[in-house]
């Protein structure tokens, strides 16, 4: 069975602080994909990143960075120098590549960036 756990329900930080959103996953598949999506108040899920299970290189995109560690089944997301516009709900998700690409989502972390 596949499962994604985001233990942090809600986080509040002051603008310009760094913040890390945790994600732990479970799967029996040897090949899989991990995702992060952002959901602003408008409701649309905005794609942020996709990682293949064979690629454990960390990735940085501007103020965003992702730390994928297969040994601990974690795929954490860090926002550096947070801004108010980063306020949203963030979802970590998982899909297996040897079947259809159905995505299983975590319950999300609501991030508040305080001015």
Partner 1 sequence: GAGVSQSPRYKVAKRGQDVALRCDPISGHVSLFWYQQALGQGPEFLTYFQNEAQLDKSGLPSDRFFAERPEGSVSTLKIQRTQQEDSAVYLCASSFGRDGNTIYFGEGSWLTVV
Q: Minimum distance from CB of 9 to partner 1 (Å)?
A: 9
Dist. CA 4–CA 92, nearest whole Å: 7
Termini Cα distance of the chain? 41
Comparison of 71 and 100: residue with beta carbon closer to partner 1: 100
Among 45, 65, 74, 80, which residue interacts with partner 1 (rule: CB under 8 A)? 45
Spacing of C-alpha 105 from chain mean position: 10
* Residue among 3, 16, 50, 63 that touches partner 1 (CB under 8 A): 50
Measured CA to CA, the distance from residue 14 to residue 21 in angstroms comes to 15
Residues in touch with partner 1 (CB under 8 A): 32-33, 37, 42-47, 50, 52, 91, 95, 97, 100-108
């Amino acid at each position: 069975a596949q499962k994604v756990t985001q233990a942090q329900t809600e986080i509040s930080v002051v603008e310009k602080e760094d913040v890390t959103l945790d994600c732990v996953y479970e799967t029996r598949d040897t090949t899989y994909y991990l995702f992060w999506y952002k959901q602003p108040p408008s409701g649309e899920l905005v794609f942020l990143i996709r990682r293949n299970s064979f690629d454990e290189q960390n990735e940085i995109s501007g103020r965003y960075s992702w730390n994928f560690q297969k040994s601990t089944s974690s795929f954490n997301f860090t926002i550096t120098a947070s801004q108010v516009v980063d306020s949203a709900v963030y979802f970590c998700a998982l899909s297996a590549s040897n079947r259809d690409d159905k995505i299983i989502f975590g319950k999300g972390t609501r991030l508040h960036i305080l001015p």
